[in-house]
Amino acid sequence: MKRKYDRVYQFKITLKNISPPILRRIQVPESYSFWDLHVAIQDVMAWLDYHLHEFKIVNHSTGIKVEIGIPDDEDFDMEREVLPGWEQKIADYFSMENRVAYYDYDFGDSWEHTIKLEKILPRDKDTDYPKCIAGKRSCPPEDCGGVWGYEDFLEIINNPDHEEYEDMIQWAGGAFDPEHFDKEEVSFDDPDERWEIAFKK
């Protein structure tokens, strides 16, 4: 369902613990939920949405940090509550006084991202949102083993004499350039359709 909105939120998304930094800048409707933002992050980072995710952000009205993502009925930690991302609006949490959240993707590989609200802008009626406006460096391949696994991956693919070189190139689906990023190659899925695929089975 298309929701009306007059403003867009500009976020800087930085993958933590990797240098030089891997980052993206996106603009999304103020009407977005955290689920919608999750889908946009997956698309702009070129993740494949195979794994669980979670946002951590302070609720500025209470001063308490909350966790937003996909609730797990089998989570036996009674003190831990994960709010459904599709029920939480980004505009209820982000403001220019409350600008930072953390986004974790794939709790095994533990890809940690810093999400920073940079600007709140008037909507450009001639622009389609979400929109990627900038970025640096390629996102690591899915399931490569987190930050340390990614470092090993780069070491292997940069050494054609390495005994695992051919296998790793084949696993990666061909040549991999860690410096490559082209915002024109980014395409965004409809978050409502993604939700239907994930939960309407």
Number of structural domains in the chain? 2
Note the pTM of the prediction, 2 decimals.
0.94
**Residue 77: its pLDDT value, please?**
60
Confirm whether 66 is domain-assigned: yes
**Shared-domain flag, residues 190 and 172:** no
Given this model, what pLDDT does residue 60 score?
Answer: 87
pLDDT at residue 74 in the model? 65
Are residue 110 and residue 159 in the same domain, yes or no?
Answer: no
What are the pLDDT digits (tens) for 114-163? Answer: 999 999 999 999 999 999 999 999 999 999 999 999 999 999 999 999 99
150, 86: one domain? no
Are 13 and 71 within one domain?
yes
Query: Which pLDDT score, from 0 to 100, does residue 198 have?
Result: 87
**32 and 45 fall within a common domain:** yes
pLDDT of residue 80: 77
Same domain flag for 103 and 161: no
Q: What is the pLDDT of residue 3?
A: 81
Q: Tell me, yes or no, whether 162 and 195 share the same domain.
A: no
Q: Are residues 83 and 160 both part of a single domain?
A: no
Mean pLDDT of each 10-residue bin along the chain, 201 residues long: 87 97 98 98 96 95 94 68 96 96 97 98 96 98 96 96 96 95 96 90 59
Which residue range is the domain that position 36 belongs to?
Answer: 7-137+181-199
Q: Are residues 108 and 163 in the same domain?
A: no
Residues 32 and 56 both lie in one domain: yes
* Residue 97 falls inside a structural domain: yes
- Looking at residue 22, what is its pLDDT? 98
Residues 116 and 146 in one domain: no
Q: Are residues 103 and 20 in the same domain?
A: yes
Task: Locate 6 and state its tokens.
Answer: 């007059």
Q: CATH number, domain at 110?
A: 3.10.290.30
